[in-house]
A and B are shown apart, each in its own frame.
Chain A
């Protein structure tokens, strides 16, 4: 079974420089975007996009992602248009996605789009005359989150190669863990899956690992001994609404909570990541522990998204290195 083979569509997406899925990207491209993001971390405030218009179309509310993209655009000097609430759009009057995209393409140089339907970003990238950046399409993809995760892993470990990455919580529905798993295929990782049976890593993704030579281990326990082997501990939320059997939820809900004493044997280089929002899966006392890194991870979203926006507009790493518009 093959989860992704998007070479044909990749060619089209690359032609108009859309950013639809991380599965399109080679190791070299990922490393290139990380280098771009590093430049933005050094100098986030520039006028590189002065005179450009970035549209943020959020057909599904997502405050965190929208603010991150809008901040990225604003800090580069672009103007931002768009909507945060789909109720105010003509979609409620029956307008098709195509019509909305074609209309906005007349005004904006790039469209950042969040949509509740799966495949919406791919479709938009095929019809729009301007690049589309996928800010999440239903349960399908959220590639800018993956890009910031990769950036953060590289930042904390100094490399993306040969790492032990522990994925904890909802591995069935969590698109961030699926995308991360696929993006890491270039870097010889070993994954460790820690999840209740109902939310275990789906079989196609395990097959994907086997086909791409990615080692993985499944754990029943979640304790200090298991965590001792981790370079990255990627926590996700176990949501009540994901369970068909609520008794099962009650039984497992506390088994995947990270508590401070569970870090007693953790490696010094180990960092805890979380796509946020957190509810209770990471004890608040951990926030002050040096292993906690989720808030810095969220900040990295700004740099990663600055890189994604610039790349989609054809601005190169060289352009950024030679940029004289730093504020």
Chain B
């Protein structure tokens, strides 16, 4: 487990007016004492993640960084959510909307867990099958997909065998 310190999570440098003139300053965001950080969110997926996790309805503190510089991704987004931890089911949904984000769990200012959120091998009741003739679209039942290619994001319906790209799926 990578025990990155919590303070490292709020020092992502951002260019400022001064920075563009030659110097740069860090954007200071207060450290989380308890909660979850979701890092490395592709910028075009940020608002889907916000909707998926119902962050607009949260009463605790939520900090959102958008279009931040990233060595790995070029630009990225990051969300810090105080006093909130996610279930496996929610994380599976998150892995569909934004594959390979980094999840950081913080308790008492310490990073206690840091790991990528990867697509599971199976998706149960998370996404719709896009085949209108699939039994799952015509019967009150849960969908079930096999992830056949995690790199390409290809999933196959357990029932009708129809394959789809994870980028185009609709959540249940």
Binding site for B on A (CB under 8 A): 1-6, 8-9, 96-98, 115-120, 122-123, 137-140, 204
Q: Which residues of B contact A120 (CB under 8 A)?
A: 135, 159
A117 touches B134 (CB 8 A): yes
Q: Is the CB of B135 within 8 A of A3?
A: no
By the criterion CB–CB under 8 Å, are A119 and B140 in contact?
no
Residue in contact with A119 in the complex, picked from B146, B157, B163, CB distance below 8 Å: B157
- When C-beta atoms are compared, the residue in chain A nearest to B158 turns out to be A9
Q: Which of A2, A4, A8, A118 contacts B135 (CB 8 A)?
A: A118
Pair B135/A1 contact, Cβ less than 8 Å: no
CA distance A123 to B149 in the complex (A): 24
In the complex, chain A residues whose CB is within 8 Å of the CB of B163: 1, 204
B149 and A2 form a contact (CB under 8 A): yes
Instruction: Say whether A1 contacts B149, CB under 8 Å.
Output: yes
CB neighbours of B159 from chain A (8 A):
118-120, 122-123
Closest to A139 in B: B133
Q: Are B160 and A140 in contact (CB under 8 A)?
A: yes
Taking a contact as CB atoms under 8 Å apart, the answer to whether A96 and B140 are in contact is: yes
30 sampled A-B residue pairs with Cβ under 8 A: A1-B149, A1-B154, A2-B148, A2-B149, A2-B156, A5-B146, A5-B148, A8-B122, A9-B158, A96-B140, A97-B139, A116-B133, A117-B134, A117-B138, A118-B131, A118-B133, A118-B135, A118-B162, A119-B134, A119-B135, A119-B157, A120-B159, A122-B158, A123-B135, A123-B139, A123-B159, A138-B133, A138-B160, A140-B160, A140-B161
Closest A-B pairs by Cβ, 3 of them: A119-B159, A118-B160, A119-B160
Distance in angstroms between the alpha carbons of A118 and B138 in the assembled complex: 10
Residue of B nearest to A140 (CB): B160
CB-based nearest B residue for A96: B139
Determine the distance from Cα of A140 to Cα of B161 in the docked complex, in whole angstroms.
8
Give Cα distance in the complex from A63 to B133, angstroms: 22
B28 at the interface (CB under 8 A from A): no
Query: Which of B134, B139, B160, B161 lies in contact with A3, CB distance below 8 A?
Result: B161
Do B161 and A98 touch across chains, with their CB atoms under 8 A apart?
Answer: no
CB neighbors of A among B124-172 (8 A): 131, 133-136, 138-141, 146, 148-149, 154, 156-163
Using Cβ atoms and an 8 Å threshold, which residues of chain B touch A117?
133-135, 138-139
Instruction: Establish whether residues A4 and B141, one from each chain, have CB atoms under 8 Å apart when the complex forms.
Output: no
With the chains together, A123 CA to B122 CA distance in Å? Answer: 16
Given contacts A117-B135, A122-B135, A123-B139, 6 further A-B contacts (CB under 8 A): A2-B148, A4-B161, A8-B122, A118-B131, A118-B161, A140-B161
- A261 CB → nearest B CB, Å: 40
B134 and A118: CB pair below 8 A? yes
Closest chain-A Cβ to B78's Cβ sits at a distance in Å of 34
- Name the one of A1, A97, A115, A116 contacting B148, with C-beta atoms under 8 angstroms: A1
Chain A residue nearest in CB terms to B161: A140
**Cα(A115)–Cα(B146), bound, Å:** 23
Contacts of A116 in B (CB 8 A): 133
Using CB atoms, name the residue of chain A closest to B162. Answer: A118
Chain B neighbourhood of A2, CB < 8 A: 148-149, 156
A residues less than 8 Å from B134 (CB atoms): 117-119
Which residues of B sit under 8 angstroms from A3, Cβ to Cβ? 156, 161
What chain A residues lie within 8 Å of B141 (beta carbons)? 98, 123
In the complex, chain A residues whose CB is within 8 Å of the CB of B154: 1
